[in-house]
Amino acid sequence: MCLAVPGKVESIRDDDGTLMGRVNFGGVVKDVCLAYLPEIAVGDYALVHVGFAISRIDEASARETLRTFAELGILAAGLAELRESDEPVQPPP
């Protein structure tokens, strides 16, 4: 029920006084109410629940938590070099 999905904000607009935006969830783009994240910018990742963005995902904190695992010596090999981007890898032409 409290399921919330991260998505990337692609555009922001004012809909009769309500801040709305288009958010991309791994390829599926949906209309999302951004009224509760007035500072959000295009390109940011937001956590979306029942059509509302409720939190901006903090990239530095996301990497910091993974770094904690590395410091404990429990981050699996291959994740040690934290990926810089989650953009899909383009297949070779």
Partner 1 sequence: MKHLAEYRDADTARRLAAEIGRIVTRPWAIMEVCGGQTHSIIRHGLDQLLPPEVELIHGPGCPVCVTPLETIDKALAIARRPGVTLCSFGDMLRVPGSCEDLFAVRAAGGDVRVVYSPLDAVALARAHPERQVVFLAIGFETTAPANAMAVKLAARERLPNFSLLVSHVLVPPAIRAIMRSPGNRVNAFLAAGHVSSVMGTWQYPPLAREFGVPIVVTGFEPLDLLEGIRRAVVQLEAGRHELENAYPRVVTERGNEPAQAVIGEVFAAVDRAWRGIGVIPASGWRLADAYAEFDAEQRFDVRGITAVESPLCKSGEVLKGALKPNQCPAFGKECTPRTPLGATMVSTEGACAAYYHAGRT
C-beta of residue 45 within 8 angstroms of C-beta of residue 57: yes
CB of residue 36 to partner 1, shortest distance in Å: 4
Q: What residues line the site for partner 1 (CB under 8 A)? A: 1-8, 17-18, 25-26, 33, 35-38, 45, 47, 49-52, 54-55, 57-59, 61-62, 64-66, 68-69, 72-77, 79, 82-83, 86
> What is the closest distance, in whole angstroms, from the C-beta atom of residue 29 to partner 1 in the complex?
13
Tell me what percent of the chain is helix, strand and coil, each rounded to the nearest 5: 15, 40, 50
Q: How many residues comprise the chain? A: 93
We find the least distance from the C-beta atom of residue 21 to partner 1, in angstroms, to be 13
